[in-house]
Amino acid sequence: MERKLLTYEEKDTWIDKLCGVTKLVFFLCWSVTSMMTYDTRILVLMLVLSLIIFKISRTRWDQVGSVFKFILLFLIINLLAIYLFSPAEGVKIYGTETVLAGSGRYALRAEQLFYEFNIMLKYFTVVPSIFIFIVTTNPSEFAASMNRVGISYKAGYSVAIALRYIPDIQADFRKIRNAQMARGIEMSKKGKLVDRIKSTTAIIFPLVFSSMGRIETISTAMELRSFGKHRKRTWYMARPLKRNDYLVIAISVLFMIVALTITYMDGSRFYNPFV
Amino acid sequence: MKNNKFTIQQVVAAGIGTALFVVLTETQIPVVIVPNTALQVRAALLAFLSAVYGPVVGGIVGLLGHALGDAFFYGSVWWSWVVPDAVFGILVGLFVKQYKIREGGFGGKEIAIFNVIQIVANAIAWVLCAPVLDILIYAEPANKVFGQGAVAFICNAIMIAVLGTLLCFAYSKIMTKTSSLQKEE
Amino acid sequence: MNEKAVIEFDNFTFKYRTQVDPTLHDINLKIYKGEKVLIVGPSGSGKSTLSNCINGLIPHIYTGEQQGDVRINGKSIRETSLFDLSCMVGTVLQDTDGQFIGLTVAEDIAFALENDCVAQDEMHARVDEIAGIVEVGKLLKSSPGELSGGQKQRVSMAGVMVRDVDILLFDEPLANLDPATGKRAISLIDRIHKQTDTTIVIIEHRLEDALFCDADRIILVEDGRISADMTPDELMSTDVLIRAGVREPLYVSALKAVGVELEPEDEAGQIDTLHVEKYADEVRGWYHKQPHVQTRAYGEEVLGISHLSFAYDQNVTVLEDVSLSVRQGEMMAIVGKNGAGKTTLSNLVCGFLTPDKGEIRLNGSDISGLSVKERGEHIGLVMQNPNQMISKAMIYDEVALGLQVRGVPEDEIKERVNKVLRICGLYPYRNWPISALSFGQKKRVTIAAILILEPEIMILDEPTAGQDYRHYTEIMEFVRDINKKAGTTLIMITHDMHLMLEYTNRAVVIADGHLLADSSPAAILTNDEISDKAYLKRTSLYDLSRACGIDDADGFTEAFIHYERAHSRG
């Protein structure tokens, strides 16, 4: 049941060579645009663009495939749920009603289909940008570059520690779960809810409490090597922003502004093909 | 330790807490009655860490843990569900002094306080924050998102009431050094 | 020797805030520039507290009451900030993962420089230089997950050496390493000492391994006081180590068993310097008088493994064509360096992994169809770290857990738990919270929690890692008792040579996924080729017997171990 997590892989494309902070700015602009807009034209454009960037980054399908299938499943469930809860939401939004088939509450309406199509687009525009962000960003350099956008270096180091210890804690988790399974404790789907929560504790408690011990050790080690001595710190992995970085940041911000201006020009975030 | 400073221990706790939160992303206890919902073990972890280390750690673990967990496992970040976790962590963490977990004083009164606060914080996060963001960002139907929010609220509140309380209680026990023990034959 | 004391304890007494009694009493100690000093002592003797004073964690992080003073380079630890102290004293902690903070080797080495705001160019140059010294230059881009324990430790050394510290302080540097890697670590420390004239303080209870390279002085700490401060040669001619519960080097124990009274002039601090000629006749005479050791016969095969192979993916084979047979009632060791496939083997047996090829039999029948839970009733697994197994607050509940999840009635549970607690010597503590127990007692609880399921076989992963001699003996005597009383077959995954020699009858060596040897521990530890491949270290008994003109080093080793067993338990 264990799926492969997305991980960074060193490659030699110009996207890889961008600073982490550049990619973060791009990712944030991209997310904000995609969250705010419901303009179908812009969403389609973004989808096309992200597929192109995905291609350039040379991200391989096997790096992201299993995760992608999962998203697809989640998306389908969500689209069905929206239909179930509010089959005429599209009518409310676009102001017209075009029944394609059926009748009554769950009649199939063109507006609803178009609305849910837009939601699907919104998902698909964000997903490649996250894939690219994770797969092409060196975690070390990322932690270093967070400091640049005004995030305190201490918070930046929390991120670095999280990334550093995720594999270790995952290994602990697996070891503990195996040993408890051999004792006969498993997280089964049967039994009373309270019993199921209890058997979870057999795995969670040792994991959490041994991690609490780890917090002490790491703090001591950092203390002994003068973490927090000055208001600033330098970074071994920091990279200076280059021409390409400024270019990408400028384009990202510009794109966001233009896209949102177009979206809101007519006073609504929705593009309405029905009137 | 001064409270207004982000201490080394808090930096590390936020990092390790985030790592734990991410690792536990997929550890869920399915609820049989309501399909497609599950009790999130990580919700109990977040409540516990917030109650032990305070609002800064709680906020970071909620925000970062949820965002990274979503990104690594699902390849997308649902900000409308990330923010409520951060809000929840901060709210529970604000009352860190009331729980006395580190001092080993998490008893009956503290359990009650902890649970009242976690339920209120859960309500604010999931019945208010998440659905409103869903509507603002994704323009999803109101009845759907409030329904989802309510289910998330109930699930998390139950999980934290049981597992969260147990975690706090057990950790508080570990932190007390009892010296009145005697061997029995 | 230079007469400048870099570390100076002056009538120093320290009591932790949370404790009733002082941990250190009236310590007077001077360590001079360029010295190399070993600090030894049993767990709880105060040796870690001593090291915490040297690096300034006391009084800056761990607070308490103190009398007298500690001065580093002439500066009082009370009046010097932790930041300034850490520029003078570099500490390498025991936990190789906990102190590896960086995402890559280079970043971890640079960590202190980053905090000192050193410019990037200078930092890169400095990291390259230091990485070269500790031989990790080729690994700069590696993440900690790709490194062995020994490599991580070298990175940690580099991480404190980047600051040009005057004193290097090592807290149990050998605890997590296999013997051959430990030997290499000690050589490296020795080389750094000679090249840089840094003062070296090593805290360690594995004295024989730590003495692989010479030390100027050994300081023995006992009950918060310094009970010996002398050269290794002097110390070996006394019996203070044994009385304090610190293990002597094996060759020294053997010489003492023979009846030799060592003198400081014998230079017994290291086996290489020891003037053994003097005693060769005596040793030979003793050896010829020892009775021939009978090997015990064991019962039927309980666990059979044939042609087992496993690979995580097609390219990386972890185990290939491993076959072995374990007999009822045996105590055996599986040894080999980290990553050789020992843990994979136990994971396959327990059913956490599925073999690609081969068969595992329990009492003659194939177990491929059994679930993890079903196997768990026959084959118990005890993890290395008891804190990763214990999930209950009370001892009784922890031990009962395995039966409760199997739906055994409450009366029967109570009866069986009490019985197991009695076997494990935990009955008097049954109503204690587990948090009040020592590490060794916790280990017992985890063993009891497995024993309650009455498995035929128990697999113990590194049962004594990081334990001092007293706890080591306590745990292993207990394990041996279980073997005798409950008749449980015991398989121990370990790289502790003493454990193999003293408590097992048979050792299976796994190297690079292959079964390299299956023989008596004495035979394996006197065979250079096998020891090298398995990252073990040849026992010093081999060198002793050779130096005394005994050809059968294997036989001599067996004879000594046998003698020890018979005499230590009356």
Is residue A110 exposed (0-12), middle (13-18) or buried (19+ Cβ within 10 Å)? middle
Q: Is C244 part of any domain?
A: no
Per residue in B126-169, pLDDT (tens digit) is: 999 999 998 988 888 899 899 889 989 999 999 999 999 999 99
CA distance to partner chain C, nearest, from residue A225 (Å): 5
What DSSP assignment string belongs to A199-245?
A: HHHHHHHHHHHHHHHHHHHHHHHHHHTTTTSSS----TT-----HHH
Mean pLDDT of chain C: 90
Residues B173, B175, B179: CA angle, nearest 5 degrees = 80
What DSSP assignment string belongs to C481-507?
A: HHHHHT--EEEEE---HHHHHHH-SEE
| Mutation site, A67, A137, A163, A200, interface B, largest B CB count within 10 A | A200
Model pLDDT, residue C296:
67
**What is the token pair recorded at C438?**
């020592």
In this structure, which CATH number among 3.30.70.141, 3.30.1330.10, 1.10.1760.20, 2.40.50.140 belongs to the domain B10-94+101-175? 1.10.1760.20
For residue C433, give the nearest of B178, B183, B185 by CB distance.
B178
Model pLDDT, residue B31:
67
CA torsion, ordered B58, B59, B64, B69, to nearest 10 deg: 60
Is residue A74 exposed (0-12), middle (13-18) or buried (19+ Cβ within 10 Å)? middle
CA distance to partner chain B, nearest, from residue C478 (Å): 19
| Mutation site, C114, C165, C451, interface A, largest A CB count within 10 A | C114
Asked if the peptide bond before residue C59 counts as cis, ω within 30 degrees of 0, the response is: yes
For tokens 């308490």, name the residue: C64
Contact check, Cβ <8 Å, B9/A38: no
pLDDT along chain A (275 residues), means of 10: 64 82 88 88 91 81 78 86 89 88 87 91 86 83 80 89 92 91 75 75 91 92 92 88 91 93 84 82
Cα atoms found within 13 Å of the Cα of residue C372, Cβ hemisphere only: 19
**Searching chain B, which residue's CA lies closest to the CA of residue C422?**
B185
Q: Are B49 and B58 in contact (CB under 8 A)?
A: yes
Contacts A81 to B, Cβ<8 Å: 144, 148
Domain identity same for C196 and C313 = no
CB pairs under 8 A between A and B: 177
Interface check for B5 against chain C (CB to CB < 8 A): the answer is no
For residue C176, pLDDT beyond 90: no
Q: Is C418 part of any domain?
A: yes
For residue B34, pLDDT beyond 60: no
CA distance C449 to C423: 12
The CATH number linked to C125 is: 3.40.50.300
For residue A233, give the nearest of C104, C115, C401 by CB distance.
C115
Chains that touch B (3 or more CB pairs under 8 A): A, C
Contact check, Cβ <8 Å, A70/B75: yes
CA distance A154 to A151: 8
In single-letter form, the type of residue at position C516 comes to L
Largest CA distance in chain B: 68
**Searching chain B, which residue's CA lies closest to the CA of residue A162?**
B15
Window 425-454 of C, Cβ < 8 Å to B: 427-433, 435-436
SS (H, E, C) A83-94: HHHCCCHHHHHH
For residue A209, give the nearest of B24, B26, B171 by CB distance.
B171
Instruction: Give this complex's ipTM.
Output: 0.90
Domain identity same for C427 and C405 = yes
Q: List the alpha helices (DSSP H) in C359-488.
A: 372-376, 395-404, 410-423, 439-451, 469-485
**What is the token pair recorded at C58?**
């006391």
3-state helix, strand, coil in chain B (%, to 5): 75, 5, 25
Neighbours of C364 (CB within 10 A): 9
Domain identity same for C283 and C311 = no
Model pLDDT, residue C35:
94
Domain range for C9 is: 5-238
Domain identity same for C275 and C309 = no
Largest CA distance in chain C: 73
Domain identity same for C289 and C323 = no
Interface check for B34 against chain A (CB to CB < 8 A): the answer is no
**What is the token pair recorded at B130?**
């998440």
Model pLDDT, residue A56:
81
Neighbours of C288 (CB within 10 A): 9
Q: Is C243 part of any domain?
A: no
Query: Domain extents for chain B?
Result: 10-94+101-175
For residue C350, give the nearest of A182, A214, A221 by CB distance.
A182
Query: Domain extents for chain A?
Result: 1-138+239-275, 153-236
Per residue in C51-107, pLDDT (tens digit) is: 999 999 999 988 889 999 999 999 999 999 999 999 999 999 988 888 999 999 999
Residue C170: strand pairing partners: C92, C202
Interface check for C396 against chain B (CB to CB < 8 A): the answer is no
Contact check, Cβ <8 Å, A38/B174: no
Q: Which pTM value belongs to this model? A: 0.90
For tokens 């009955």, name the residue: C427
Interface check for B19 against chain A (CB to CB < 8 A): the answer is yes
CA distance C287 to A265: 99
Contacts B177 to C, Cβ<8 Å: 18, 436
Contacts B14 to A, Cβ<8 Å: 155, 158, 161-162
> How many domains is chain C built from?
3
Largest CA distance in chain A: 72
Domain identity same for C148 and C42 = yes
* Phi, psi (deg, nearest 5) at residue C318: -95, -40
Model pLDDT, residue B181:
60
Interface check for A93 against chain B (CB to CB < 8 A): the answer is yes
